[in-house]
Amino acid sequence: MQKVLFVIFVSLFSIVAKASIIYESAAGGFDSTFCCGSILNTNQYIGATFTINEKTKIDAVGGHFMASKSFGGNLFGAIVRLNNSGYPSNSAFKLDNILAYTIFTPETGKDYLAPIAVNLDSGSYGIVFGAGLFGTSGFQALTLLQSQPSFSNGRSYGTSPGRNWHIEDSMPWARYRIIVSGERIVNAIEPSSLFLLIFGVLCIFLKKISLSFHRKNTVG
């Protein structure tokens, strides 16, 4: 009986699918002729919108960061709820509704993912990278893909001195590789259903005890 209960509860709480990339803004080779990338620092934030169709556990965010001896220091990566205009805020360099953030110093010249943890319901959200918030002060850059990436997904946006948050769907903004990794949360059990299931298992267990006791007292 104990083995049966163990199998049942392992099955119930194994509700998260394997982690994978659930959003990437663009893919393809990296541009070796067109220099170079776009700065991420206290004076420029860059991000993108992404949409999920089911409840998802986000476990990492990142992108392809440019390699250069001139760059260094830490950045923040934040997942935000977008406002009615589709931006992180109506004010430059502000994030109105932060759902989760991470602080990291990226490995450069390749895709890099920084761990983060938040459960999101289906809907559209924003990912933002920059410096100046949460004690960060780095100076890094997102690499530009080739002039025609193999695909570009979602909408890129940013803010810089003298410019509020704005959408940029044209090149080169559509050439940044921004990544969100996560796990679909499946077969989540409602509390009422879980109670009924536990109650049913308990009844079976008690019935088995009762039958065992009855047999013991009727033998001979």
- Residue 2 inside a domain? The answer is no
Question: 65 and 167 in one domain?
Answer: yes
- Residue 6 inside a domain? The answer is no
Choose the weakest-confidence range: 50-64, 130-144, 162-176, 187-201: 187-201
- Residue 81 inside a domain? The answer is yes
The predicted pLDDT at position 25 comes to 86
Task: Output 99 or 184, whichever has higher pLDDT.
Answer: 99
Question: 196 and 147 in one domain?
Answer: no
Question: 79 and 175 in one domain?
Answer: yes
Structural domain count, the chain: 2
Question: 195 and 150 in one domain?
Answer: no
Question: 205 and 155 in one domain?
Answer: no
Residue 37 is given by DSSP the state E
Choose the weakest-confidence range: 20-34, 69-83, 135-149: 20-34
Question: 83 and 31 in one domain?
Answer: yes
Check whether 199 has a pLDDT greater than 80: no
The predicted pLDDT at position 210 comes to 62
Q: What is the signed CA dihedral for 156, 157, 161, 162, rounded to 10 degrees?
A: 120
Residue 62 sits at the vertex; the CA angle it makes with 17 and 77, to the nearest 5 degrees, is 105
Per residue in 130-178, pLDDT (tens digit) is: 999 999 999 999 988 876 676 667 678 888 888 899 887 666 667 888 9
The predicted pLDDT at position 198 comes to 72
The predicted pLDDT at position 84 comes to 92
- Residue 139 inside a domain? The answer is yes
- Calpha distance 112→155 (Å, rounded): 20
Beta bridge partners of 183: 57
Question: 92 and 38 in one domain?
Answer: yes
- Residue 119 inside a domain? The answer is yes
2-13 vs 191-218: helix crossing angle, rounded to 10: 180
Question: 51 and 158 in one domain?
Answer: yes
Residue 143's nearest CA partner among 175, 103, 188, 191 is: 175
Mean pLDDT over 78-97 rounds to: 93
Question: 75 and 47 in one domain?
Answer: yes
Residue span of the structural domain in which 103 resides: 13-184
Q: What is the signed CA dihedral for 42, 43, 49, 52, rounded to 10 degrees?
A: 0
Question: 69 and 49 in one domain?
Answer: yes
The CATH number for 32's domain is 2.60.120
Residues 143 and 64: beta-carbon distance below 8 Å: yes
- Residue 8 inside a domain? The answer is no
Question: 151 and 52 in one domain?
Answer: yes
- In the predicted model, what is the mean pLDDT of the chain? 81
Question: 162 and 213 in one domain?
Answer: no
